[in-house]
């Protein structure tokens, strides 16, 4: 089973799925996404003949990856308290 990631929806009709393991992106019709999918969702996917043949929403990976991103953003924000530039008043 390979992991895929919903990077974005283009023209409100095509879903761009990134598969890091293969270093490829797949473009599928938006209506082929599993119910509940949204940008930044992860999937367990099966690929045959260079096409995605099945997709299942992977809620657990989606949540844990989002937590990592939130953690990183919190650390970045805490490092950059205030501007390095002085305001002219």
Position 89 pLDDT exceeds 70? no
Predicted confidence at residue 53, as pLDDT, reads 94
Locus of tokens 């992860």: 42
| Residues 2/22, Cβ–Cβ less than 8 Å | yes
Position 77 pLDDT exceeds 90? no
Residue range 12-60, pLDDT digits in tens: 999 999 999 999 999 999 999 999 999 999 999 999 999 999 999 999 9
Instruction: Please compute the mean of the pLDDT values over residues 58-67 and round it to a whole number.
Output: 92
Q: Which of 11, 56, 12, 10 is nearest to 35 (CA)?
A: 56
| Residues 7/39, Cβ–Cβ less than 8 Å | yes
| Residues 19/45, Cβ–Cβ less than 8 Å | yes
């Amino acid at each position: 089973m390979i992991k895929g990631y919903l990077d974005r929806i283009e023209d409100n009709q095509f879903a761009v799925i990134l598969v890091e393991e293969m270093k490829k992106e797949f473009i599928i019709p938006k209506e082929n996404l599993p119910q509940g999918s949204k940008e930044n969702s992860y999937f367990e996917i099966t690929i045959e003949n260079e096409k995605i043949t099945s997709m299942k929403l992977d809620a657990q990976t989606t949540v844990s990856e989002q937590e990592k991103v939130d953690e990183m953003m919190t650390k970045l924000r805490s490092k950059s308290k205030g501007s390095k530039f002085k305001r002219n008043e």
